[in-house]
Amino acid sequence: MAHQVVLNWVAPSTGDAPTSYNVLRALVTGGTVGTYASIASVPAPTVTYTDTTVVGGDSYSYEVESVNADGSSAPCPAITVTVPLAAPNPPTGLTGIAS
């Protein structure tokens, strides 16, 4: 099973309209948030992003920034998501010999 995190946010209702959004992600290890890195630029008016590069059992912190010709906003408050582990696939090639 492929893991994913689906993010949704609300466009800002004040200020100049964004033309895109920067999606930032950091790995969370032992409760400590690592360094944020941009993983996607989403064109406005889209307000959703699916991160398909996550690993089961890991935790990630996400932030989103609004962007327009004047620059980037401060990031929204961060959220942390822990990706669940999936059950393994069943074994294959089972054979039996009767005697």
Which pLDDT band holds residue 29 (cuts at 50, 70, 90)? Answer: very high
Claim: this prediction has a pTM higher than 0.95: no
The average pLDDT across 8-13 equals 96
The average pLDDT across 57-75 equals 96
Contacts of 66 (CB under 8 A, 6+ apart): 11, 12, 18, 21, 72, 73
- What structural domains and CATH numbers belong to the chain? 5-82 (2.60.40.10)
The average pLDDT across 44-56 equals 97
> Is the pLDDT assigned to residue 34 strictly greater than 70?
yes
Q: What is the pLDDT at residue 1? A: 61
